[in-house]
């Protein structure tokens, strides 16, 4: 286990401490990682979310969060995933943290079996063993939060992803995160509009940072996107995709909300 993690705000300390405990259990074998290697081919997450001429939708399955509380009462994630896929989402994001977000990693293999879309595992990654765990559960991609990792740790996590054939989505929130991500070789960048120090959301973060991201990178905007109008606002900002969770999961009509966001992305692609 890493002896040092980049300093984080007190609201994240509990989450990071729980991840450290989970890693200890993984490393001492309390959580088995010795089952047969997942032989299913990885789905192309990067290709799925970077279709020329459109802003793709990464539709998230998330039942709760520390900032929002309960977002939606529990229902079968596969049922939600099927709605997303049927209505045009390009990829699925599954939040797997159990304690703080009411997620369940064991749902990931079920989603892979039921759907044809790539599946991103969204959690708090601070050790390469979590990448291997994700691979064994069938993840096509994982979320790496630059703020939580030193440069050396981020390089090791990216290397672990390459070794497993899992796509890393490296999340940033400010210029310092961006510089770290690019220097470490990240090629899929997610701009999180949510400040992890305050949990406040401002989509201006994407507008400010997007022009600074190298053109060679796939660029994703995360958090605070609730309507098709929000996606249209990103026109001309070189955004390849948006990751949307709360607006979909809170909707009274998930299918209609998915179509709204997908159609807005088709109107205005990367420019």
- Active centre residues (catalytic): 60, 62, 122, 171, 192, 222-223
Question: Phi/psi at 98 (nearest 5 deg)?
Answer: -85, -45
Q: What is the DSSP letter of 220?
A: E
Calpha distance 9→173 (Å, rounded):
14
Write out the two tokens for 191.
């701009």
Cβ neighbors of 46 (< 8 A, separation 6 or more) are 167, 187, 188, 218
Give me the DSSP letters along 12-76.
Answer: HHHHHHHHHHHHHHHHTTSS---SPP--SPPP-HHHHT--TTS-EEEEEE--EETTTEE-S----
Calpha distance 255→210 (Å, rounded):
29
Question: If residue 121 lies in a helix (H) or strand (E), which one and from where to where?
Answer: strand 119-122
Write out the two tokens for 67.
């900032």
Calpha distance 243→190 (Å, rounded):
9
Calpha distance 102→198 (Å, rounded):
21
In angstroms, how far is the first alpha carbon of the chain from the final one? Answer: 42
CB 29 within 8 Å of CB 172: no
Question: If residue 102 lies in a helix (H) or strand (E), which one and from where to where?
Answer: none
């Amino acid at each position: 286990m890493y002896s040092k993690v980049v300093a984080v705000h007190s609201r994240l300390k509990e989450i990071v401490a729980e991840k450290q405990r989970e890693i200890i259990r993984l490393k001492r074998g309390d959580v088995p990682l010795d089952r047969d290697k997942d032989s299913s081919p990885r789905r192309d997450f990067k290709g799925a979310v970077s279709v020329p001429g459109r802003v793709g939708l990464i539709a998230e399955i998330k039942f709760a969060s520390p900032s929002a509380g309960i977002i939606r009462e529990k229902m079968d994630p596969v049922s939600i995933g099927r709605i997303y896929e049927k209505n045009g989402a390009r990829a699925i994001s599954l939040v797997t943290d159990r304690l703080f977000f009411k997620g369940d990693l064991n749902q990931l293999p079920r989603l892979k079996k039921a759907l044809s879309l790539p599946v991103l595992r969204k959690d708090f990654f601070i050790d390469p063993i979590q990448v291997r765990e994700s691979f064994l559960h069938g993840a096509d991609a994982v979320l790496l939060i630059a703020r939580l990792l030193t440069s050396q740790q981020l390089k090791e996590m990216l290397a672990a992803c390459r070794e497993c054939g899992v796509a890393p989505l490296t999340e940033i929130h400010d210029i310092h995160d961006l510089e770290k991500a690019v220097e470490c070789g990240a090629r899929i960048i997610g701009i999180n509009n949510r400040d992890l120090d305050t949990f406040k959301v401002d989509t201006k973060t994407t507008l400010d940072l997007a022009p600074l991201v190298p053109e060679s990178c796939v660029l994703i905007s995360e958090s605070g996107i609730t309507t098709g109008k929000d996606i249209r606002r990103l026109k001309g900002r070189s955004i390849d995709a948006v990751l949307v969770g709360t607006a979909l999961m809170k909707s009274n009509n998930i299918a209609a909300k998915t179509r709204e966001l997908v159609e807005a992305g088709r109107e205005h692609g990367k420019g």
